[in-house]
Structure 1
Amino acid sequence: MLKHIFTLLFFIYSGNFFSQNSANIQGKILTDKNYEKDTIVFSAGIIDEKYYANTKLTSAINNNKFNIQGIFSCPQMYSYSMNSEKDVILFRNGKYFIDQSTTSIIVSDMITKQGEVIGKTGNEYQNKFIPFILANSSDNFEHFYYNNSEMFDKKLYKYVIKNPDSYVALWFLIERYNIEGYSDLYETTLNSFSHSIKKQKLWLTLNAELKNTLIRKGRKFPEMSLQNTSLKTEILNIPDSKYTLIEFWFSRCRPCLEQLPSLKKIYNRYYAKSFNIIAISTDKTQNVVPYWQKRIVEYEIPWKNYLDENAVIAAREKIISFPTNFLIDKDHNVIKKNITPEDLEKFLSENL
């Protein structure tokens, strides 16, 4: 008898639990196309999937409508794409916040119309967060976000001070860290969230990653075990120069190759004045011999070259865009990140 009562109570309470945290979301696409027989995919975008309870939400599309179902223990931020375009477009513009209160989603592939999510977190994003970030700006949100990163980060910090329980702000902080890596402002912003947010797995995951990030401005560049051009393991050896530029790149990176002539001119001009360059390639295993080793010879790269095979270290340090560089001083402290060849030339001319 007791066993039957326990079983009944279990189903009652578990049913209540899942009903409180699950969502059945109706969606439609604002478009002038017909996505019949396609699948819409909501995914993590550029954010590490470990932050997600549901890394992907998918639905077949019928008459440009879809249905999403899932269990959401906390709000999730997604980007979206179409399965038919997976080899062309990684994800489309726009952020979509989904939680257990979400009832509908409107996605748009039209420039003149914006997407919309009906739900608590979606409402905060559209009606509170975006207006706060765009205050005194005539720009649209997407353009402002991707072209004014320093200003966005400062406004994000101010938003957290005013709204310390905001999952919208926490998700954007997670994405900014995944794009840029460590910064003191990110750590300050993270520590400004409320005590209740700090108990959540989402906050704890970002906090652990920030603390484990080794490349930081104002600190010594960390020791690394890499491979040399002979593919032998070698500890990174930073030369005793007044300034050294450490550049992360890979052999099929067009922007990396395009700036090589400028860097070679700077290297040749200032090497005798105590300037050096170290290159760390993140090439995949299959590209090491046919591309990386070949590029070094083909482009006559005169500085020391190392290999971080398959970007193991780069991924840990959230280096996801290339080239990424760090300028370090004679004490091996990081003093600048992503300095352009033009600014590097100016800096060296003034300091050497």
Structure 2
Amino acid sequence: MKKHLLLLVAAVVSTAFAYADNRKLSVNGTVEGVQSGKVYLQKFDNKMYKLIDSAQIKNGRFSFDKVVELPEIYAFTLDTTQSAYMVFLDENPVTVKFDTAQYYRNTVVTGSKLQDLFTEYKKQKRVRVDEFIKANPASLVSAYVLYRDFSYRLSPEEIQSNIQLLDASLRNTPYVKVLEELIKVLETVSIGKKAPDFTVNDVEGKPVKFSDYLGKGYVLVDFWAAWCGPCRRENPNVVKVYAKYHDKGFDIFGVSLDRSKEAWVKAIEKDNLTWTHVSDLLYWNSEPAKLYGVRAIPANFLIDKDGIIVAKNLRGEDLDKILGEYFD
């Protein structure tokens, strides 16, 4: 009797803390300017998308009628190699007016309350994440916003305090799980801590150990990617600083979050990045990025000759200024 009671309690607790479940998805849509072809349904996974299903476009119309995990974040696209339109889907039937022009600017999704909330969120400026969560504590949108838009701006303590504002039903979502793991990682790469070591292949496919570059001076571990616009715009500043301080003992160790080796190598050459570069070509699943808690790029860590992190996320004149203090 006691055993059955324990199992019942466990089942109730599990259900109480479960957010998503396998439910039937109902989507009907039209595609602007397209009469035939396919619409692909993808599931959001760590800033990437995994293919779930596809639907034929007939006379400009398509539909999905499939059991999937709901509520959850998905995306629609006509080409899985190109950008997709992200959408929050819940248990309600959804209608989509799909328009691929101008980065899906005119796409309209109706029926999903979660998508309505996300659309309203994107219109707001200077959002305070704690206030947004307090207003929507049980919404998947709140967990996503904290995960995607604020985690890289907040301290471990701030991330934890915001997680506490979320409804308990969201604790088992992948977004909160990533945040909880991120808190642990960020504590290991704070200023004053020993920089974690790693080994990743360079552009020639040869394994390179980061710690082999320590001990001579200051090293900037620079996380970037060829596809990252802000990274490419920051590169001229990094090149300038490298030229100014390299002979004094400054080096850079570039870590790319690219997927395409061709694009990565081409960007290195085009931006004149003449220092050591490595990448496992795993995009947001990059092992060094996970090790350093990198959730947005560009990101960097300045390491001294003893392997200690002395500064983080230096941009433009800030990087030049702090190196000037160390070398001049």
Short-chain TM bin: 0.5 to 0.7
> Post-superposition shift, 1:98?
1.0
Counterpart position of 1:61: 57
Could you tell me whether the CA contact under 8 Å between 1:226 and 1:234 is conserved in 2?
yes
Could you tell me whether the CA contact under 8 Å between 2:26 and 2:92 is conserved in 1?
no
> Post-superposition shift, 1:159?
0.7
> Post-superposition shift, 1:313?
1.9
Counterpart position of 2:220: 245
> Post-superposition shift, 1:118?
0.5
The residue identity in structure 2 corresponding to 1:28 is T
The residue identity in structure 2 corresponding to 1:266 is V
Summarize the alignment of residues 51-90 of structure 1 with structure 2, pairs less than 5 Å apart.
55-83=51-79, 86-87=80-81, 89-90=82-83
Q: Structure 1 residues 171 and 280 mapped into 2: Cα distance closer, same or farther (>3 Å)?
A: closer
Q: What secondary structure is seen at the aligned counterpart in 2 of 1:21?
A: strand
TM-score (norm 1): 0.63
Could you tell me whether the CA contact under 8 Å between 1:46 and 1:175 is conserved in 2?
no
Q: What secondary structure is seen at the aligned counterpart in 2 of 1:165?
A: coil
> Post-superposition shift, 1:165?
0.7
5+ residue gaps, structure 1: 1-18, 138-150
Counterpart position of 2:252: 277
Counterpart position of 1:13: none
Q: What secondary structure is seen at the aligned counterpart in 1 of 2:300?
A: strand
Counterpart position of 1:313: 287
Cα RMSD after superposing both structures? 4.6
Query: How many equivalent pairs are there?
Result: 295
The residue identity in structure 1 corresponding to 2:25 is A
Aligned-pair identity in percent equals 19
> Post-superposition shift, 1:217?
4.4
Counterpart position of 1:148: none
Q: Structure 1 residues 316 and 134 mapped into 2: Cα distance closer, same or farther (>3 Å)?
A: same
The residue identity in structure 2 corresponding to 1:166 is S
Summarize the alignment of residues 1-352 of structure 1 with structure 2, pairs less than 5 Å apart.
21-29=23-31, 31=32, 33=33, 35-44=34-43, 47-48=46-47, 55-83=51-79, 86-87=80-81, 89-92=82-85, 95-109=86-100, 113-126=106-119, 129-130=120-121, 134-135=123-124, 137=125, 151=126, 155-176=128-149, 184=156, 185-198=158-171, 200-203=172-175, 205-207=177-179, 209-211=181-183, 213=185, 216-218=189-191, 219-226=193-200, 231=206, 234=209, 236-237=211-212, 239-240=214-215, 243-248=218-223, 262-271=237-246, 275-280=250-255, 301=274, 305=276, 307-311=278-282, 312-314=286-288, 316-317=290-291, 324-328=299-303, 332-333=308-309, 335-337=311-313, 339-349=314-324, 352=327
Q: Structure 1 residues 175 and 41 mapped into 2: Cα distance closer, same or farther (>3 Å)?
A: farther
CA deviation vs aligned residue, 1:213-252 (integer Å, no higher than 9, x gap): 4674434421223457893553524535775321235799
CA deviation vs aligned residue, 1:51-72 (integer Å, no higher than 9, x gap): x9x8534321223221112334
The residue identity in structure 2 corresponding to 1:172 is V
- Structure 1 CA distance, aligned partners of 2:232 and 2:135? 44
- Structure 1 CA distance, aligned partners of 2:318 and 2:135? 36
The residue identity in structure 2 corresponding to 1:210 is L
- Structure 2 CA distance, aligned partners of 1:300 and 1:201? 39
Counterpart position of 1:143: none
> Post-superposition shift, 1:193?
0.9
Q: What secondary structure is seen at the aligned counterpart in 2 of 1:223?
A: coil
The residue identity in structure 1 corresponding to 2:40 is V
The residue identity in structure 2 corresponding to 1:325 is N
Q: Structure 1 residues 183 and 332 mapped into 2: Cα distance closer, same or farther (>3 Å)?
A: same
Q: Structure 1 residues 264 and 120 mapped into 2: Cα distance closer, same or farther (>3 Å)?
A: closer
Could you tell me whether the CA contact under 8 Å between 2:160 and 2:180 is conserved in 1?
no
- Structure 2 CA distance, aligned partners of 1:257 and 1:162? 37
- Structure 1 CA distance, aligned partners of 2:248 and 2:316? 17
Counterpart position of 2:10: none
